[in-house]
Amino acid sequence: MILCGRGAGRNVLLSLALSACVTTSPEPSASGAAHVPLASPASLAADSVAILAGVAAYDYALAGSFAGERVRVVTPDRYAAALAGQYPAIAALKDKVMRAAFAQAALAGALVEVADADVRVSEDLQLFADSRDDVSFARTVQDVEAAWSALRRLAALLPRDDALGSSLARGASWSVTVSRAPAFAVVTAPYATREEAVAAARRIGSVEQIATTSPFTIRVLTTADRGAADRRAGDLRDGGIVAATLDTERLSFSRAGPDPLAELWREPALDIPTQEGARRANFVAGGTLVVSVDGYAYAFGDTGTPRWRVRLNAGPTFVTAARGGQFLAVGGQFVQVVTNEGQLMGTAGRLPSSAAAAVWVERRAVFVAASQGPTGKPEGGGGAVTALNLNGKVLSAPFPLVTPAAGPALAASPARDEVYIATTSKGATDIEAIRPGIDEKTRALARVDGQVADLIIDDAGTFAVLVTASGTYRFRPGTADPGATMERIGATARDVAFDPDGTLYAVFADRLVAYDTGLRQRWSATLSDGRRVLAGRRVVVQDGLRRVVVADRGTGATDELASVGEIDDVAVSQDGARVLVLVDGRRAVVFQLP
């Protein structure tokens, strides 16, 4: 006797059970309390295409990772985590197929074939989540291709549906080819626990894989050379590690198809291994620039290929690009102008201590950087503001400007000649402006209570925002009396940024708030540990040490970029399309926003 109904078997058993149900059982009563409208075969096909397209896109990315590529790749851990949500989706689809087949006897076989294929993919994904190895991935690739074939057969039986055909063609366009070659693996005897296996792997040194489920073996080496494998196994045994050489296959993966940006924009578009000790990074014309703690600057092309390396001064605190990214100011206590081709311009300008930041004053074609005094306290000496032109020449008097010891915040706008300087003394912040290369002294604008934390100005030069310990304020720097326009927005923000359209974004510990030009709140989004905000195609927020949140500029709806490590720096390209996240002091990861 075959039981019919929900959950009646999986894979081949599912097909057999459903066939029996279709031929021997009546359609469930439409008057039942638990009745759910039947899904049409076309909608079921569309649902399956959507599920498989998501898997196929991640297959494309993981195949690139296994092949050692850097563009549009994901790690096995991320692959497993990102696709875990497909398990319930496939289970729900299977249940819909079971019900729909009662009403579509002519299509029941094709529908169940699709459901069977999807279930096999789900099982493959769950097995991969346990093993995270190339063998499990190869099985997934094979079953995904079988699922596409089943979908094509179902689609051929349905009335013409251009939308379904288009989505099926796109999903199936990402292909992964698995190549197999004889090989020999050096594998240890199983350990009682994974912790013991991990400890043994540390003793061994270089290993390929530690099993995540029992038996907890260690794969030390895979090679086409039987002699090399036997020698390595012998060395391990001599060192007290029980190991043997096993006949196996070496799997290799290649991929083809269009860039799955729409499906994978939350995943890295480019993952660049950098020099250890990487601290600051930014986009430059033709790629990215990463500066390490020892002062070396490394440039990489748009595909992650190393381009050049130059030696600067140690202890970098910023990388600031001019408009277009052909010139950059890089520095800490010493500020140097560098071209996007690696040419050092002029000599480094020196500050009393490491600069907090630098700004690009476009209409004057100069970089301006500032720092606090040597100790940050009055008795240790004052801070300073220095300016360098594109030839790397340090501007003369009145530069370097001497500031109070606590150091200034700087801001500049492409619409104005001035650099704006906010400094604190005696518990209050003074805002001043100067046109580099023109003015002989600064011009006072306003004074606000509290220690300065941040200063920004919008691209139009209409509004500026000052953040101090007493709150967040907005004023109009271009008016005759900017102090008279000062408005308190609210509490002290952790970071602020202007959108090109004038929208103000303010980050607090627990939220991101967007204000229109009338200072009306447009939306807010919840955060756990808001730290930085940058404006791009979406609003980019560093939320804690490992999390980057992106918010829709119009609605505030949030998404999260894949966590790739502990964050050292975040930058947004000048066109707003890319996000650069420097992590773990050794990886520069680029995301492409839709």
pLDDT at 2: 34
pLDDT at 405: 93
pLDDT at 103: 80
pLDDT at 102: 76
**What is the amino acid identity at position 248?**
T
pLDDT at 35: 55
Q: What percent of the chain shows pLDDT beyond 90?
A: 88
Cβ within 8 Å of residue 169, ≥6 positions away: none
pLDDT at 36: 58
pLDDT at 9: 41
Which residues, in sequence order, are bridge partners of residue 446? 431
pLDDT at 156 over 50: yes
Domain boundaries, the chain: 11-175, 180-255
pLDDT at 241 over 90: yes
What CA–CA distance (Å, rounded) separates 457 from 460?
8
pLDDT at 96: 92
pLDDT at 392: 96
Tell me whether strands 539-543 and 530-535 are parallel, antiparallel or unpaired: antiparallel
pLDDT at 6 over 70: no
CB of 204 within 8 A of CB of 218? Answer: yes
**What is the amino acid identity at position 513?**
V
CB of 421 within 8 A of CB of 439? Answer: no
CB of 56 within 8 A of CB of 172? Answer: yes
Q: In what order do the strands lie in the sheet with 401-403?
A: 357-361, 366-371, 383-389, 401-403
pLDDT at 59: 98
Element (H, E) at 461: none
pLDDT at 28 over 50: no
pLDDT at 301 over 90: yes
Q: How far is CA 30 from CA 47, 337, 482, in A?
A: 23, 75, 72
- The CA angle 97-102-105, to the nearest 5 degrees, is 100
Q: What is the DSSP letter of 122?
A: H
**Before 400, cis peptide (omega within 30)?**
yes
What CA–CA distance (Å, rounded) separates 65 from 57?
13
Count of other CB atoms within 10 angstroms of residue 521: 12
pLDDT at 22 over 80: no
Of residues 211 and 364, more confidence is placed in 364
What CA–CA distance (Å, rounded) separates 224 from 254?
19
CB of 294 within 8 A of CB of 326? Answer: no
Of residues 498 and 22, more confidence is placed in 498
3 state DSSP class of 65:
helix
Q: Which of 191, 150, 189 is nearest to 171 (CA)?
A: 150
What CA–CA distance (Å, rounded) separates 83 from 71?
20
User: Taking the chain, what is the end-to-end CA distance rounded to the nearest angstrom?
Assistant: 53
**Before 182, cis peptide (omega within 30)?**
no
Q: How far is CA 536 from CA 332, 459, 540, 571, 588, in A?
A: 26, 13, 7, 10, 18
pLDDT at 135 over 50: yes
The per-residue b/e assignment along 447-478, b for 16 or more CB within 10 angstroms, e otherwise, is ebebebbbbbbbbbbbbbbbbbebbbbbbbbb
Using pLDDT thresholds of 50, 70 and 90, give the confidence band for residue 335: very high
pLDDT at 32 over 70: no
Q: What percent of the chain shows pLDDT beyond 70?
A: 94
Name the token pair of 434.
């100067």
DSSP string, 362-396: GGGTEEEEEE--SSSSGGG--EEEEEEETT-PBP-
Using pLDDT thresholds of 50, 70 and 90, give the confidence band for residue 483: very high
Q: What is the DSSP letter of 191?
A: B
pLDDT at 287: 96
Q: In what order do the strands lie in the sheet with 409-412?
A: 409-412, 419-425, 428-434, 443-449
Name the token pair of 362.
């476009």
pLDDT at 386: 97
Q: How many CA atoms lie within 13 A of 87 on its CB side?
A: 11
Instruction: State in words which class domain 180-255 has.
Output: alpha beta
Question: Average per-residue pLDDT in the chain?
Answer: 92
Residue where the block lists tokens 């792997």: 201
Using pLDDT thresholds of 50, 70 and 90, give the confidence band for residue 17: very low
Query: How far is CA 490 from its chain centroid?
Result: 31
Count of other CB atoms within 10 angstroms of residue 156: 8
CB of 328 within 8 A of CB of 320? Answer: yes
Q: How far is CA 22 from CA 7, 38, 109, 140, 365, in A?
A: 15, 15, 10, 30, 77
- The CA angle 319-325-331, to the nearest 5 degrees, is 20
Tell me whether strands 357-361 and 419-425 are parallel, antiparallel or unpaired: unpaired
3 state DSSP class of 549:
strand
The per-residue b/e assignment along 15-31, b for 16 or more CB within 10 angstroms, e otherwise, is bebbeebbeeeeebeee
3 state DSSP class of 546:
coil
Residue where the block lists tokens 């300008």: 349
Start-end of H helices in 67-193: 76-82, 86-103, 108-131, 134-157, 162-172
pLDDT at 38: 84
Using pLDDT thresholds of 50, 70 and 90, give the confidence band for residue 104: confident
Q: What is the mean pLDDT of residues 447-452?
A: 97
Name the token pair of 382.
């004052």
pLDDT at 1 over 80: no
